[in-house]
Amino acid sequence: MKARAALLALTLPALVGARPPMRYQPDPSSVFAAELAFNRLAQQKGQWTAFRATAADEAVMFVPQRVLAKQWLKGRADPPAPVSWTPSAIYVSCDGNLAASTGGWKRPDGSVGYFTTIWQRDRKGEWKWIMDHGDTLASAREAPEFLIGKVATCKRGRAGDGPRPAVPPPDRKTSGIQPVPRDESLSWSAEAAADGSRRVTVRMWNGAGYETVIDDRVAAAP
Q: Look at residue 182 and tell me if it is in a domain.
A: no
Opening angle at CA 67, ends 86 and 55, nearest 5? 45
3-class DSSP state for residue 112?
Answer: strand
Q: Look at residue 49 and tell me if it is in a domain.
A: yes
Q: Look at residue 41 and tell me if it is in a domain.
A: yes
Give Cα 20 to chain centroid, integer Å. Answer: 20
Domain containing 124: what range? 24-153
- Cβ-proximal residues to 23 (8 Å cutoff; 6+ apart), any chain: 95, 96, 180
List, for residues 43-94, the tens digit of each pLDDT value: 999 999 999 999 999 999 999 999 999 999 999 999 999 999 999 999 999 9
- Cβ-proximal residues to 158 (8 Å cutoff; 6+ apart), any chain: none
112: β partners: 106, 137
Given a cut of 70, whether residue 32 has pLDDT beyond it is yes
Q: Look at residue 37 and tell me if it is in a domain.
A: yes
- 43: domain CATH number is 3.10.450.50
> How many domains does the chain divide into?
1
**pLDDT confidence of 161, banded at 50, 70, 90?**
very low
Q: Look at residue 217 and tell me if it is in a domain.
A: no
Dist CA 176 CA 160 (whole Å): 25
The answer to whether the CB of 91 falls within 8 A of the CB of 205 is: no
List, for residues 90-113, the tens digit of each pLDDT value: 999 999 999 999 999 999 999 999
3-class DSSP state for residue 32?
Answer: helix
